[in-house]
Amino acid sequence: MGAPLRAAALRRRLDALYLHYDHRFVDPDPLQFARAQAAPEDQEVVGLVAAALAYGNVKQIKRSIQAALEILGPRPARALRRLDPRRAARTLEPFRHRFNTGRDVACLFFLLRQMLEGWGSVQAFFAQGLQPDAGHVGPALASFCARALALDCAGLYGRGALPPGARVRFFFPSPVDGSACKRLNLYLRWMVRREGVDLGLWRDVDPAALIIPLDAHIITLGKRLGLTQRTSPGWPMALEITESLRRLDPRDPVKYDFALHRMGLWKKEDEIRSLER
């Protein structure tokens, strides 16, 4: 099959799967925590907390997100605006999510508080780093992470600048360092995409600029479907898979992420083989 015919066939099959994997399939997914919020400002902050903790075992992820959000109550954005970071760290002292502790979550909460206080929303803080001619969100992500980690950390990791070993840094990986930035790209998909399961809250970012959240399932499927020739996961692979998907839908290249992830997560081998034909 020639390349144009192959692309057209793959697009038709992926479009059908995109329509199939709708809101009914969100559970289990960290996105469900943001979708459960009624107010957009709460969806925005809960989304970042949920995405930050979206690594490891699915059951553990859900437990950890729920535990972290409990101290914020029914109106998370309002609670963040009056959050005392040291008190939050004490309340979260028993919290553990693999190698992140309650102190890391309390610091994340305080960084979010400063974004809300200084810029009004996480979107406005992120938009400060947007470069319209960049072609994708990579430079904006790098700026977002650098500026977030330069905010005040309330002395939670000692006096002075944030030390290199502070594990709150894990929540803000940068493409400059070669990271695929899977969890932040996942957050951006939730916030920016305006169709399907995603929330579409952010209007300052073009869906065409999004990058695929690169996890183990997307890596495996990306290789099987010929979306990447790379063998090492990282930012270059995420760019390459996204560019392959952009040929299928230039305006919304990551629209297929949710369906592809579900197929990989649930090992839908019959559906995967249908895409390989």
* pLDDT, tens digit, 9 for 90 and up, residues 20-49: 999 999 988 999 999 999 999 999 999 999
Residue 45: which domain range?
Answer: 3-276
What average pLDDT does range 176-186 have in this prediction? 97
Is residue 219 within 8 Å of residue 227, measured between CB atoms?
no
Residue 168: its pLDDT value, please?
98
Is 60 exceeded by the pLDDT of residue 5?
no
pLDDT at 277: 64
Q: Tell me: cis bond preceding 40? Omega within 30 of 0 counts.
A: no
pLDDT at 7: 86
Element (H, E) at 101: strand 100-101
Altogether, the residues listed in the chain come to a count of 277
Nearest residue to 152 via CA among 163, 142, 162, 167: 162
Owner of token pair 């610091």: 107
pLDDT higher than threshold 90 for residue 132: no
Report residue 268's pLDDT band, with 50, 70 and 90 as the boundaries.
Answer: confident
Q: How far is CA 54 from the centre of its chain?
A: 8
The pLDDT value given to residue 46: 98
Using CA atoms, how far apart are residues 171 and 192, in angstroms rounded to an integer? 19
Q: CA gyration radius for the chain?
A: 19
Q: How many domains, in total, are found in the chain?
A: 1
Q: How far apart are CA 189 and CA 211, in angstroms?
A: 8
Average pLDDT of the residues in 232-261 = 96
Between CA 6 and CA 14 the distance in angstroms is 12
Q: What share of the chain is helix, strand, coil (3-state, %, to 5)?
A: 60, 0, 40
Dist CA 99 CA 128 (whole Å): 31
Nearest to 30 by CA among 270, 261, 236: 261
For residue 96, give the 3-state DSSP assignment: strand
Q: State the DSSP code for 156.
A: B
pLDDT band for 271, please (50, 70, 90 cuts).
confident
